[in-house]
Structure 1
Amino acid sequence: MYRWLLATLLIMLIGLQYRLWFGEANLREVWRLEQMIEEQQVENAQLVERNKRLEAEVRNLKKGLAALEERARSEMGMVKEGETFFQLVEPQQERRRD
Protein backbone atom coordinates (compact mmCIF):
# COMPACT_ATOMS: atom_id res chain seq x y z
CA MET A 1 0.00 0.00 0.00
CA TYR A 2 2.74 2.46 0.97
CA ARG A 3 4.70 1.57 -2.15
CA TRP A 4 1.77 2.62 -4.36
CA LEU A 5 1.38 5.86 -2.46
CA LEU A 6 5.12 6.54 -2.63
CA ALA A 7 5.21 5.70 -6.36
CA THR A 8 2.22 7.98 -7.03
CA LEU A 9 3.80 10.85 -5.10
CA LEU A 10 7.11 10.33 -6.88
CA ILE A 11 5.41 10.36 -10.30
CA MET A 12 3.54 13.54 -9.34
CA LEU A 13 6.79 15.17 -8.18
CA ILE A 14 8.54 14.25 -11.42
CA GLY A 15 5.59 15.58 -13.42
CA LEU A 16 5.60 18.86 -11.54
CA GLN A 17 9.38 19.24 -11.91
CA TYR A 18 9.11 18.57 -15.63
CA ARG A 19 6.41 21.20 -15.94
CA LEU A 20 8.44 23.65 -13.85
CA TRP A 21 11.59 23.33 -15.99
CA PHE A 22 10.30 22.44 -19.46
CA GLY A 23 6.59 23.24 -19.61
CA GLU A 24 4.82 26.39 -20.70
CA ALA A 25 6.03 29.43 -18.71
CA ASN A 26 8.96 27.50 -17.28
CA LEU A 27 11.62 28.98 -15.03
CA ARG A 28 14.11 29.60 -17.83
CA GLU A 29 11.49 31.57 -19.73
CA VAL A 30 10.64 33.57 -16.61
CA TRP A 31 14.33 34.39 -16.04
CA ARG A 32 14.74 35.42 -19.69
CA LEU A 33 11.69 37.67 -19.48
CA GLU A 34 12.95 39.26 -16.25
CA GLN A 35 16.27 40.02 -17.98
CA MET A 36 14.42 41.55 -20.93
CA ILE A 37 12.36 43.67 -18.53
CA GLU A 38 15.52 44.98 -16.83
CA GLU A 39 17.09 45.85 -20.19
CA GLN A 40 13.92 47.62 -21.30
CA GLN A 41 13.77 49.60 -18.06
CA VAL A 42 17.36 50.80 -18.59
CA GLU A 43 16.54 51.82 -22.15
CA ASN A 44 13.36 53.57 -21.01
CA ALA A 45 15.31 55.52 -18.37
CA GLN A 46 17.76 56.68 -21.04
CA LEU A 47 14.91 57.74 -23.31
CA VAL A 48 13.19 59.61 -20.48
CA GLU A 49 16.41 61.51 -19.80
CA ARG A 50 16.80 62.34 -23.50
CA ASN A 51 13.19 63.52 -23.67
CA LYS A 52 13.74 65.78 -20.66
CA ARG A 53 16.77 67.37 -22.32
CA LEU A 54 14.84 67.89 -25.56
CA GLU A 55 11.89 69.33 -23.67
CA ALA A 56 14.17 71.80 -21.87
CA GLU A 57 15.74 72.79 -25.17
CA VAL A 58 12.31 73.38 -26.74
CA ARG A 59 11.29 75.51 -23.75
CA ASN A 60 14.48 77.57 -24.07
CA LEU A 61 13.91 78.08 -27.77
CA LYS A 62 10.30 79.15 -27.22
CA LYS A 63 11.02 81.48 -24.28
CA GLY A 64 14.16 83.36 -24.97
CA LEU A 65 16.21 84.59 -27.84
CA ALA A 66 19.47 83.76 -26.07
CA ALA A 67 19.18 80.05 -26.80
CA LEU A 68 18.15 80.74 -30.37
CA GLU A 69 21.06 83.14 -30.82
CA GLU A 70 23.50 80.64 -29.33
CA ARG A 71 22.29 77.93 -31.68
CA ALA A 72 22.51 80.25 -34.70
CA ARG A 73 26.09 81.19 -33.77
CA SER A 74 27.35 77.69 -33.07
CA GLU A 75 25.54 75.68 -35.75
CA MET A 76 25.18 78.19 -38.55
CA GLY A 77 28.18 80.44 -37.95
CA MET A 78 26.06 83.58 -37.84
CA VAL A 79 27.42 86.90 -36.53
CA LYS A 80 25.51 89.85 -35.06
CA GLU A 81 25.40 93.10 -36.92
CA GLY A 82 28.31 95.29 -35.87
CA GLU A 83 30.45 92.38 -34.67
CA THR A 84 33.75 91.42 -36.20
CA PHE A 85 34.36 87.77 -36.89
CA PHE A 86 37.89 86.43 -36.40
CA GLN A 87 38.83 82.97 -37.57
CA LEU A 88 42.04 81.53 -36.23
CA VAL A 89 43.72 79.04 -38.50
CA GLU A 90 46.47 76.79 -37.23
CA PRO A 91 49.50 76.68 -39.54
CA GLN A 92 49.98 73.38 -41.31
CA GLN A 93 53.12 71.51 -40.51
CA GLU A 94 55.35 70.79 -43.46
CA ARG A 95 55.65 67.18 -44.38
CA ARG A 96 59.12 65.85 -44.92
CA ARG A 97 59.70 63.22 -47.53
CA ASP A 98 62.54 60.88 -46.76
Structure 2
Amino acid sequence: MLGKVKQVGEALKAQKKLNDLKKKLETVTVDVEEGNVKLKLKGSIAMYEVASIEVNGEEVKMFSKALKKANKQMMKEIQKKAKTGELGDMGGMM
Protein backbone atom coordinates (compact mmCIF):
# COMPACT_ATOMS: atom_id res chain seq x y z
CA MET A 1 0.00 0.00 0.00
CA LEU A 2 2.79 2.43 0.91
CA GLY A 3 4.47 1.69 -2.42
CA LYS A 4 1.38 2.82 -4.34
CA VAL A 5 1.12 6.00 -2.28
CA LYS A 6 4.77 6.75 -3.05
CA GLN A 7 4.16 6.12 -6.78
CA VAL A 8 1.20 8.51 -6.76
CA GLY A 9 3.32 11.13 -5.01
CA GLU A 10 6.09 10.74 -7.58
CA ALA A 11 3.57 10.96 -10.42
CA LEU A 12 2.17 14.19 -8.95
CA LYS A 13 5.68 15.65 -8.66
CA ALA A 14 6.42 14.71 -12.28
CA GLN A 15 3.12 16.29 -13.41
CA LYS A 16 3.97 19.51 -11.55
CA LYS A 17 7.44 19.57 -13.16
CA LEU A 18 5.85 19.12 -16.59
CA ASN A 19 3.34 21.91 -15.95
CA ASP A 20 6.13 24.23 -14.77
CA LEU A 21 8.18 23.43 -17.88
CA LYS A 22 5.15 24.05 -20.11
CA LYS A 23 4.63 27.51 -18.58
CA LYS A 24 8.30 28.40 -19.00
CA LEU A 25 8.42 27.16 -22.61
CA GLU A 26 5.37 29.27 -23.46
CA THR A 27 7.43 32.40 -22.69
CA VAL A 28 9.92 31.58 -25.48
CA THR A 29 9.03 33.24 -28.80
CA VAL A 30 10.86 33.67 -32.10
CA ASP A 31 9.94 36.13 -34.86
CA VAL A 32 11.36 35.56 -38.35
CA GLU A 33 10.92 37.54 -41.53
CA GLU A 34 12.03 36.17 -44.90
CA GLY A 35 11.02 38.31 -47.86
CA ASN A 36 7.30 39.01 -47.47
CA VAL A 37 6.81 36.06 -45.11
CA LYS A 38 6.54 36.65 -41.37
CA LEU A 39 6.48 33.79 -38.87
CA LYS A 40 6.07 33.86 -35.13
CA LEU A 41 6.81 30.69 -33.17
CA LYS A 42 5.80 30.20 -29.57
CA GLY A 43 7.39 27.59 -27.32
CA SER A 44 5.20 24.72 -26.16
CA ILE A 45 5.55 21.34 -24.54
CA ALA A 46 5.92 19.92 -28.07
CA MET A 47 8.90 22.35 -28.38
CA TYR A 48 7.00 25.01 -30.34
CA GLU A 49 3.86 25.84 -32.24
CA VAL A 50 3.40 28.27 -35.11
CA ALA A 51 1.66 31.25 -33.55
CA SER A 52 1.03 33.18 -36.77
CA ILE A 53 1.81 33.15 -40.49
CA GLU A 54 1.64 36.03 -42.96
CA VAL A 55 2.31 35.47 -46.66
CA ASN A 56 1.95 38.44 -49.01
CA GLY A 57 1.85 37.99 -52.75
CA GLU A 58 3.48 34.97 -54.32
CA GLU A 59 6.20 34.54 -51.69
CA VAL A 60 5.20 30.97 -50.88
CA LYS A 61 8.75 29.70 -51.57
CA MET A 62 10.00 32.03 -48.87
CA PHE A 63 7.63 30.36 -46.40
CA SER A 64 9.67 27.16 -46.37
CA LYS A 65 12.89 29.13 -45.93
CA ALA A 66 11.41 31.22 -43.13
CA LEU A 67 10.04 28.14 -41.34
CA LYS A 68 13.44 26.44 -41.41
CA LYS A 69 15.10 29.61 -40.13
CA ALA A 70 12.52 30.01 -37.35
CA ASN A 71 12.84 26.34 -36.38
CA LYS A 72 16.62 26.72 -35.99
CA GLN A 73 16.23 29.87 -33.92
CA MET A 74 13.60 28.28 -31.67
CA MET A 75 15.73 25.20 -31.03
CA LYS A 76 18.72 27.42 -30.17
CA GLU A 77 16.60 29.49 -27.76
CA ILE A 78 15.20 26.42 -26.00
CA GLN A 79 18.62 24.77 -25.76
CA LYS A 80 20.16 27.99 -24.42
CA LYS A 81 17.46 28.34 -21.77
CA ALA A 82 17.76 24.67 -20.84
CA LYS A 83 21.55 24.97 -20.42
CA THR A 84 21.30 28.11 -18.28
CA GLY A 85 18.60 26.56 -16.09
CA GLU A 86 15.92 29.07 -17.11
CA LEU A 87 13.56 26.16 -17.81
CA GLY A 88 14.14 24.67 -14.37
CA ASP A 89 15.16 21.11 -13.57
CA MET A 90 14.13 19.14 -16.64
CA GLY A 91 15.24 15.81 -15.21
CA GLY A 92 17.00 14.58 -18.36
CA MET A 93 14.14 15.53 -20.71
CA MET A 94 16.56 17.28 -23.08
Larger radius of gyration: 1
Name whichever structure is richer in strand by fraction: 2
Name whichever structure is richer in helix by fraction: 1
> Which interval holds the TM-score relative to the shorter structure?
0.3 to 0.5
TM-score (structure 2 length as normaliser): 0.36
Q: Which gives a bigger RCO, structure 1 or 2 (Cα 8 Å, sep 6+)?
A: 2
